[in-house]
Amino acid sequence: MKLEKEIMQERFKSEHQKMVVNLLFTGSWIGFQQLQILKPFGLTIQQYNILRILKGQYPNPATVNLLIERMLDKTSNASRIADRLVHKKFITRKTCPEDRRSVDVVIRKEGLELLEKIEAKEKELENKFNSLTNSEMKSLNNLLDKLRG
Amino acid sequence: MKLEKEIMQERFKSEHQKMVVNLLFTGSWIGFQQLQILKPFGLTIQQYNILRILKGQYPNPATVNLLIERMLDKTSNASRIADRLVHKKFITRKTCPEDRRSVDVVIRKEGLELLEKIEAKEKELENKFNSLTNSEMKSLNNLLDKLRG
DNA sequence: TAATATTATATGTTATAACATTGAATGTTA
DNA sequence: TAACATTCAATGTTATAACATATAATATTA
Q: Which of B23, B25, B71 sits opposite A26 (nearest CB)?
A: B23
Contact at 8 Å (CB) between B115 and B47? no
Task: State whether residue B19 sits within 8 Å of chain A by CB.
Answer: yes
Closest C-alpha to B48, from B85, B89, B88? B85
Model-level pTM? 0.92
Residue-wise pLDDT for B8-54, tens only, equals: 666 788 899 999 999 999 999 999 999 999 999 999 999 999 999 99
Q: Which residues pair with B107 in a beta bridge?
A: B91
> Residue B95: which nucleotide is closest by CA–C1'?
C9
Contact at 8 Å (CB) between B71 and B61? no
Outline where DSSP puts E strands in A13-95: 91-95
Looking at residue B10, its pLDDT comes to: 60
* pLDDT string in tens for chain A (149-residue length): 777 676 666 578 889 999 999 999 999 999 999 999 999 999 999 999 999 999 999 999 999 999 999 998 888 899 999 999 999 999 999 999 999 999 999 999 999 999 999 999 998 888 877 899 999 999 999 999 999 98
Contact call for B145 and A24, based on CB within 8 A: no
B63 touches strand D (CB under 7 A): no
Closest C-alpha to B53, from B43, B42, B40, B66? B66
